[in-house]
Amino acid sequence: MKHNPLRSLPSVHSLLELEPLVDLIQVVGQDQVVEQIRIHLDKIRNNLRCETAEALDVSPAVLAKQIALDILSATRPILRKVINATGIVLHTNLGRSPMALEAATAAFEAAKGYLNLEVDIETGKRSSRQDAVRGWICKLLGAESSTVVNNCAAATIIALRALAKGREVIVSRGQLIEIGGSFRLPEIMEVSGAILREVGTTNITHLSDYQKAIGPNTAAILRVHPSNYRIHGFEEQPSLEDLVALAKSHNIPLIDDVGSGAVFPLNVPGYHEEPNPRISLAKGADLTLFSGDKLLGGPQSGIIAGAASWIQAIEKDPLMRAFRLDKMTLCALEQTVLLHLNPASVKERIPTLRMLSATEKELLQQAESLLQMLQPLAPEASITICSGAGFAGGGTLPTQEIPTWLIEIKSKMQSAESLAYALRTGEPSVFARIQEDKILLDMRTVASGELATLAQAVVQAMGH
């Protein structure tokens, strides 16, 4: 009778006693290990019933090793570190701003222990979780008061609710934007309970358009920075100064959504500065709103700064409870704002600002180091250095191009698509750009400490 390999398969029980699986029971628990053993044995039984059965090695030690690999991949966290070689600094899908070490450390410490989140250390009495960050933000922006929520979308909703629920808010048609990820101004407005009063046209809105729209039911004027698009040519919007004067003469507040919140100019060639919330307040906006994870370079959050009376009204809104920040984010935000209070070092210490202001010379040097690591490892691939354009932030900043240096890879064996797939799914995961069947690695978003790992990942993805 012919030997039946199905009979020689080890039992679940005996596999559970083998070393790599015994160790894994400690990590992921017996149930998950047993589940993967069963799945694996079923697969093998199915294979053994086919013609090519002879080639299979079903010895217990080999099986245990394979099953251990299955378990590791089946229980692997979905969210993991990636290397961003896209050159897009504020890449929303890759987590927007990486945080400064000080901010990340503060979040870590807050996460694993207790802190005085809502208690005053001096008096032992209950305080507001807003108190810590409020003072620093006021100092940074020259604001009378401030409060923070989960993101700029939440900031817009709660500000409109507190100032204008059931009443009209005037917005220029040129500013009724969609930021992506379902931030569409008319819908945000609807959710807030304020009534949208559109004025002007897509490209031209005059001060007189605002003026004519003001009536007894007007609660506020909202100005929104069109972060991700530009109208070129015949275009006009009233200046902030003119809008402030108009709002003041009618005794209504002006809310200025500046979006990315550039507190310091970057002074980078080719880069158009984004509006500064400090200047927005200095020019007389009653409230200025911006994201904490765009050009502030901190954690996801929305900052509202301006008149104390409006901030109080906002903090009284029941939605504040739903929109408030957690302890980790608050600690990270506090550290980020503290770093901004030292303008001399802020661009060096906030990664987002450091990357955006990296010079072409630095980026070229980085490209040269990477090339030197790659060439000996993958001698037959066509790998070159080239200059090109990078982007500050897809969907968060205008699609303005900043000069950058890149590594360009053209493989004879693989299409750019399949190489990009191998890079993404490798260890560590790498996100690159594809252009004309070439892979581009943009040095602007790669930290110098990541270069060696990136080189290894590229070589692995190319199948070396």
Ligand X SMILES: *Cc1c(COP(=O)(O)O)cnc(C)c1O
Positions touching ligand X (CB under 6 A) are 151-153, 179, 183, 224-225, 227, 257, 259-260, 291, 302, 396
C-beta of 293 vs 442, nearer to ligand X: 293
Based on CB atoms, which residue is closest to ligand X, 227 or 404? Answer: 227
Closer CB to ligand X, 152 or 246, in the complex: 152
Nearer to ligand X, 10 or 261 (CB): 261
Q: 33 vs 304, which CB is nearer to ligand X? A: 304
Cβ-based neighbour number of residue 140 at 10 Å: 20
Residues 6+ apart with CB under 8 A from 15: 21, 37, 60, 63, 64, 67
- Distance in Å, CB of 353 to ligand X, minimum: 17
Dihedral angle sign, alpha carbons of residues 188, 275, 351, 442? positive
Nearer to ligand X by C-beta: 37 or 185? 185
Residue nearest to ligand X (CB): 259
Return the bridge partners of 390, or none: 402
Q: How far is the CB of 440 from ligand X (least distance, A)?
A: 26
Q: For residue 10, how many C-alpha atoms fall within 13 Å in the half-sphere facing its CB? A: 18
What are the residues whose beta carbons fall under 8 Å from the beta carbon of 423, sequence distance 6 or more?
Answer: 429, 430, 431, 432, 439, 457, 458, 461
CB of 188 to ligand X, least distance (A): 8
Q: How far is CA 165 from CA 34, 169, 210, in A?
A: 57, 9, 19
Minimum distance from CB of 107 to ligand X (Å)? 18
Rounded distance between C-alpha atoms, residue 301 and residue 290, angstroms? 9
Which of 257/408 has CB closer to ligand X?
Answer: 257
Instruction: Give the burial class of 453: count Cβ atoms within 10 A of its Cβ; 0-12 exposed, 13-18 middle, 19 or more buried.
Output: middle
> Which of 241, 222, 248 has its CA nearest to residue 167?
222
- CA 225/CA 314 separation, integer angstroms: 22
In the complex, minimum distance from the CB of residue 394 to ligand X, in angstroms, rounded to a whole number: 11
| Pairing mode of beta strands 254-259, 287-291 | parallel
Closest distance of CB 161 from ligand X, Å: 16
Nearer to ligand X, 323 or 405 (CB): 323
The distance of closest approach from Cβ of residue 293 to ligand X in the complex, given in angstroms and rounded to an integer, is: 7
Contact between residue 422 and residue 414 where contact means Cβ atoms under 8 Å apart: yes
302 three-class SS: strand
| Residue 339: CB minimum distance to ligand X, A | 19
